[in-house]
Amino acid sequence: MVGVKDNGPTQAELRGHPTGDSSHALVEPAVESTAWTDSPSDRPPVTPEPTTAHSSTRRVVGIDAARGVALLGMVAVHSLYEFDAQGHPTLSYTLAAGRAAALFAVLAGVGISMTTGRRRVTGGRQGWAAAASLVARALALAVIGLILGSNSDATNGTVILVYYGALFLLAIPLVFLPTRALVVTGVVALFVVPVLSQLVRGGLPASLNDHPTLAFLMASPVRVLADVFVTGEYPALPWVAYVCAGLAIGRLNLSSPRVARRLLGTGVAMAVVAKLVSWVALGPMGGSDRIFAAAQGSASSRDTVSDLLVFGDDGTTPLDTWWWLTSAAPHTSTPLDLMHTIGTALAVIALMLLLTDAARPARAALASSVLKPLRAVGSMTLTIYVAHIMFMSSSLDVFSAMPGYLAEIVVAMLFALIWSAVRGSGPLESVVTSLSHHAREAVMSRSADGAHRAGRR
| DSSP state string for 189-235 | HHHTHHHHHHHHGGGSPPP-SS---HHHHHH-HHHHHHIIIIISSS-
Burial 369-385 (b: 16+ CB within 10 A, else e): eebbbbbbbbbbbbbbb
Q: Mapping DSSP to helix (H, G, I), strand (E, B) and coil, where does residue 389 land?
A: helix
Distance CA 85, CA 87 (A): 5
Q: Domain limits of the chain?
A: 11-456
Give strand pairing partners of 31. Answer: 59
CA distance 105 to 25: 7
| Predicted local distance difference test score (pLDDT) of residue 41 | 47
Cβ distance 246 to 106 under 8 Å? Answer: yes
User: Residue 38 region, left (φ>0) first, then alpha (ψ -120 to 50), else beta?
Assistant: beta
DSSP codes of every residue in 228-276: IIIISSS-HHHHHHHHHHHHHHHTS-TT-HHHHHHHHHHHHHHHHHHHH
**Amino acid identity at 90:** T
Helix residue ranges, H only, 283-400: 287-297, 302-311, 335-355, 361-370, 372-378, 381-392
Under DSSP, the state recorded for 378 is H
Give the bridge partners for 33, in sequence order. Answer: 57
Enumerate helices (H) and strands (E) in the chain, giving the number of each.
20, 2
Q: How many residues does the chain have?
A: 457
Q: What is the pLDDT along the chain (457 residues), one digit of tens a residue?
A: 333 333 333 333 333 333 333 334 555 444 443 333 334 445 554 444 343 333 334 578 999 999 999 999 999 988 888 988 888 899 999 999 999 999 999 999 999 998 888 888 887 888 899 999 999 999 999 999 998 888 776 445 578 899 999 999 999 999 999 999 999 999 999 999 999 999 999 999 988 888 888 888 999 999 999 999 999 999 999 999 999 999 999 999 999 999 999 999 999 999 999 999 999 999 999 999 999 998 887 767 788 888 899 999 889 999 989 999 999 999 999 999 999 999 999 999 999 999 999 888 888 899 888 999 999 999 999 999 999 988 888 888 888 889 989 999 999 999 999 999 998 889 999 999 999 999 989 888 876 555 555 555 5
Closest CA to 237 of 227, 245, 246: 227
CA–CA distance, 245 with 183 (Å, rounded to integer): 7
Euclidean distance between CA atoms 408 and 77, whole angstroms: 13
Phi, psi of 205 (to 5 degrees): -60, 150
Cα separation, 320 vs 202, in Å, equals 10
Whether the CB-CB separation of 154 and 16 falls below 8 Å is answered with no
